A and B are shown apart, each in its own frame.
Chain A
Amino acid sequence: MADFDAIVIGGGLVGTAVAYGIARLGRRPVLLDEGDIAHRASRGNFGLVWVQSKGIGVPEYQRWTRQSSDTWADFSKELLEETGIGTGHERPGGVTICLSEEELDKRRRLMEQLHIEAGETNFDYEILRHAELKKMLPAIGPDVVGASYTRYDGHANPLFTMRALHAALLKHGGTYVPNARVESIQAAPNHFVINAGGQSFAAPRLVLGAGLGNKALGEMVGLDVPVRPVRGQIIVTERLQPVLPIPTLMMRQTVEGTIMIGESREESGFDDTTSPEVIHTLAQRAVKSFPFLKNVRIVRTWGALRVMAPDGLPIYEQSSEFPGAFVCTCHSGVTLAASHARYYAQYVMDGALPAELARFSTKRFDVRAAA
């Protein structure tokens, strides 16, 4: 049996960020990664570090997202210094493009509501009409009515981010165990023994960072984690000269030149394939927003499964039955990576989540469904 300070289950962006954060504190985590049969949301995501439109009606979520977005540049710099791997993070601001007056009006009301709810966090935004937006994004087409803009938005390369996190985890003395599907958990308050991949691991802390796997794992340590898959589909183009200086909610150009197009949401169970209808709708909206795309080649499409709670918020909780066991799950593994590494890891090692994360507790699900 190998003893550690913490066991983190899940080798994607969430689990690896928390494990790296623990190692960064000088503690000894072990990261258990199931393998390529896992659903691997971190291999399929879009790569926005996105603030605008998140947390309507839940100011705690707006603040938590914003804090991570504000931390990202420093987080990325640290990863580069420690590992030599760049995450490609940029924060040029971002826009949500509207193709009708109705969309723009709805958008304006949403942004104003976020502004009011932000309180002293001070959420600045602009609603840009076509002409102003064209100065920022010259490639927009005539059907674009306007957009909402905030300076808080940005993007990063999710795969380089994950590689950097893995490298940084090892550099700080963390242990990574691949092909380690969890077979059993023996839980006692602040004492966990896990059998995974034919080995045993023990630690006083346990973090569930296994995405859709958290539902079943949670049951083993008294945590209710009602996450379900929500499919997103993505289109990837050939590499082009820089043409999108800032990301939009549905489109971003990587530093390598590729344009990624996404924004779909479907209830498709665990089916992570693509469908012609959705790809068609995405492509149509993309071409309407940026007509030059009609002559651009698509090199790849894929589907991936978001990890979604019933209300779309992250789930952060410590088990009351088995203190020391925490769950950390969300559908924004890129955006929240900085906060998971810098803050959540600290809370886990302190043994308590702070009041500002209480809104993300599983207790919010303890409401009887209306008949």
Chain B
Amino acid sequence: MFALLPDNPFERITVHVDGNTVGVPPGFTAAAAMLLHGASSTRTTPVTGEPRAPYCMMGVCFECLMQIDGEPNQQGCLVTVVEGMRIERQLGKCKVDE
């Protein structure tokens, strides 16, 4: 669905999106990385389990919650990618370590 604007194809950061190793331009957010690599839904809601995807991309709507490096419920649109980052979908409610 999404394509990159023309940029320097030699500048890429390697991240892992739902287990797949992919390259994204520097400065990308985790949410953008997921969208670029074909995710149509990036989380399921904690109440009804409905699929959702990033919406506002500016930190307001909380629709882009995802697990980043094992930390649940991160706002993917506010986190800039770094080398080796693990980005996963947030499925339902966050689990608690008691």
CB within 8 Å of B: which residues of A? 138-139, 238-241, 243, 255-257, 292, 295-297, 299
Contact = CB atoms under 8 A, between A and B. Distances in A.
A292 B72 CA distance: 14
B96 A239 contact: no
Nearest to A239: B46
A257 B47 contact: yes
A297 B73 contact: yes
Interface string B81-98: 000000000001111111
A254 to B, nearest CB: 10
The 3 closest A-B pairs by CB, nearest first: A239-B46, A241-B93, A238-B73
Interface residues of B, number: 12
Contacts of B92: 241
Nearest to A294: B97
A256 B47 contact: yes
Contacts of A238: 72-73, 94
Nearest to B46: A239
B28 interface: no
A139 B72 CA distance: 19
Interface of B: 46-47, 62, 72-73, 92-98
A292 B96 CA distance: 7
Contact of A239 (B93, B97, B98): B93
Given A138-B98, A238-B73, 14 more contacts: A239-B46, A239-B73, A240-B93, A240-B94, A240-B95, A241-B92, A257-B93, A292-B96, A292-B97, A292-B98, A295-B96, A296-B94, A296-B96, A297-B73
B55 to A, nearest CB: 16
Contacts of B72: 238
A138 B97 CA distance: 12
Contacts of B97: 292, 295
A256 B62 contact: no
21 contacts: A138-B98, A238-B72, A238-B94, A239-B46, A239-B94, A240-B94, A240-B96, A241-B92, A241-B96, A243-B96, A255-B47, A256-B46, A257-B46, A257-B47, A257-B93, A292-B96, A292-B98, A295-B96, A295-B97, A296-B94, A297-B73
